[in-house]
Amino acid sequence: MLKTSIVGSLPKPSWLAQPEVLWAPWASDDPAKLEEAKHDAVRLAILDQEEASLDIVTDGEQSRQHFVHGILERIDGIDFDRKTRIGIRNDRYEADCPTVTGELRRKGPIHRDEVAFARAHTDRPLKFTMPGPMTIVDTLADDFYGDRPAMAMAFADILNEEAKELVAAGADVIQFDEPAFNVYLDAVPTWGLGALDRAVKGVDCTTGVHICYGYGIKANLDWKETLGAVWDQYRTTLPAIAESDIDQVSLEFAGARVPIEVIALLEGRKDVLVGAIDVTTHEAESPQAVAAIIRAALEHAPAERIFPCTNCGMVPLPRRVAVAKMKALAAGAAIVRAEL
Ligand code: ZN
């Protein structure tokens, strides 16, 4: 009960990539050295989670430069040399994005070896994360499809093939990250969820979706300031998500102006990964603060549906901060578990 995990990413060690930076370049251009550095970083990421007493572990997303662009490097139809500067997340910020120039096709295994490596280094349940179709579409320039739903369905098929292979390689949970679900609210029921359900069709493991308000970077913090006293995005989308084929929904609550009763909109039909750790601050929460959020969540869903978690990925944080936050998460969950 109250099994703990992080959303997905952890900071990268300085010998792998520049710390506290998104899209940080790798520290080495030598493929063999880079491979070894990634492997070492994955082992440490798993060890840090195990030492913090988290129940479900990830590879810390150590092998990818960015949570969206990592998967795209091995898909046909995307020109990585043709970067186009576009506004993403409804123009919240600009990014140099690769351009879709042809029909999308998976060239072959993308993350299989990463899952197999992580699987070989932990006995705990292993979660693996990939970007969801809507968020991928929103993080790319398109010069081919001219239609976001159609492009999302093409990505859903690729993600579905990939997810099935990752289950065979040892993943226990496949989670799709869909921060775009908090931005394009109208498109979630019309095509966002359709694409997501297509991505998990026939995938024989626990499946999840992570929906958040983003990393603690300035553009996101500025955006949150415009959202008013109550952040009602989840209230709009969760009723439709309750009807989807997804098993778990990962939501942000710590330090967020999100009413926790939105959990009830899932009607006890989904596991809820309750974000009880704020990734925008550099101080670890107290275990009591974590416990308070878990207790509040328990008023709106049965205990077997509650999974204490972080709000979002921790890649931009200093390593010592991420470790302290993981320990606080586990300690807070332990307090509430003892009460139940
Ligand atoms: Zn997130």
Q: Domain coordinates of the chain in residue numbers?
A: 31-339
Q: Quote the ligand 1 centre to 311 CA distance (angstroms).
A: 6
Return the CATH fold of 31-339.
TIM Barrel (3.20.20)
CA of 67 to the centre of ligand 1 (A): 10
pLDDT exceeds 90 at position 66: no
Coil, helix or strand for 173?
strand
Tokens of 315: 């890649």
How buried is 236 (Cβ within 10 angstroms: 0-12 exposed, 13-18 middle, 19+ buried)?
A: middle
Q: What is the pTM of this model?
A: 0.96
CA dist 331 and 325 (Å) reads 10
CA of 105 to the centre of ligand 1 (A): 26
Strand pairing report for 75-88 and 93-106: antiparallel
Query: Ligand 1 centroid vs 317 CA: distance in angstroms?
Result: 13
Confidence of residue 93 (pLDDT cuts 50, 70, 90): confident
Q: Which residues of 138-159 are buried (b: 16+ CB within 10 A; e: fewer)?
A: bbbbbebbeebbebbbbbbbbb
- CA 224 to ligand 1 center in whole angstroms: 14
Interval between CA 203 and ligand 1 midpoint (Å): 22
If we measure between CA atoms, which residue out of 9, 3, 53, 4 comes closest to residue 314? 9
Task: Indicate the residue type of 189.
Answer: P
For residue 212, report the distance from its CA to the centre of ligand 1, in Å: 5
Which range among 140-154, 206-220, 263-277 shows the weakest confidence by mean pLDDT? 206-220
CA of 180 to the centre of ligand 1 (A): 10
Q: Could you report the per-residue pLDDT of 270-299, keeping only the tens digit for each?
A: 999 999 999 999 999 999 999 999 999 999
Q: What is the pLDDT of residues 211-245, one digit of tens each?
A: 999 887 888 888 888 999 999 999 999 999 999 99
